[in-house]
A = this chain, B = another copy of it.
Amino acid sequence: MSDQRNHILGCACDLYLEDGLEGFSMRKLARQVGVTAPALYRYYEGREEVVLDVVREAYREFSSFLYQALEGRTPEERMRRAGEGYLQFALQHPRWYQMVFLLPDQLGIESFPEDIEDQGAAVHQFWVDRLRECMDAGLLKEDDPDEVAMTLWAHSHGFISLYQNGHLGVDEEGFQAALAASSTRMWCGMATESFARQIRERCCGETADGEPTPAAEQQREWEQGVA
């Protein structure tokens, strides 16, 4: 029955999320399912087919985190929620985040089945849509959405993967703060002048105790300089 196959897939996801891809063996999977290894071959042709089903689950989860952003009512709101969804997916499911960045050869296969390739293309299209509509709405400077997407993606992915691999030497709170500060700088560079002003007013305002932050002071000097 497909019921047992579903149970196996669930265990396979648990196993991957626990031990990663190197520790993912049919024997361990069988132990987790509660049967012996050969029994798995009734439902799956081999290890490769199981892994590909796990990849599909990773994409499904990834997409659900991103596409909830479409509930936002303005281009700005959709973009904000998309970025937030991306970050939350990476933080809440680090192993699945790593999985959607795997290439076929890292799974020991020649190429992905077409349906998985399609999921990747859809995510890319989603981001291009977000950027395109922000440009049309006058929030971002007119530019090639593909190139801007690359910049945003590299910045976010770099931050996240350095953090996840322990190279930043900060805790999650420090990481979120650093990423937010860095993202603001980056958005200001790509935003139209009017939207950049909004961003700065929003982010570089005053601290809780009423003192202007050093960054905000500096920003003000800079704005006075160019005005």
The residue on B at minimum CB distance from A167 is B101
Give 1 or 0 for each of A178-198: 1 = CB within 8 Å of chain B CB: 100110011011100100000
Q: Say yes or no: is A155 at the interface (Cβ < 8 Å to chain B).
A: yes
A interface list, Cβ under 8 A from B: 22, 101, 103, 141-143, 147, 150-151, 153-159, 161-162, 165-168, 178, 181-182, 185-186, 188-190, 193, 215, 218, 222, 225-227
Residues of B within 8 A of A190 (CB): 185
> When A193-B222, A226-B226 are in contact, do A182 and B154 touch as well, CB less than 8 Å?
yes
Residues of B within 8 A of A215 (CB): 143
The oligomer's copy count stands at 2
13 A-B pairs with CB atoms under 8 Å apart are: A22-B22, A103-B165, A141-B222, A150-B178, A151-B178, A154-B158, A154-B182, A185-B186, A185-B189, A185-B190, A188-B189, A189-B189, A193-B222
> When A101-B167, A142-B218 are in contact, do A154 and B159 touch as well, CB less than 8 Å?
yes
CB distance from A147 to the nearest CB of B (A): 6
Query: In the complex, A161 Cα to B144 Cα: how many Å?
Result: 22
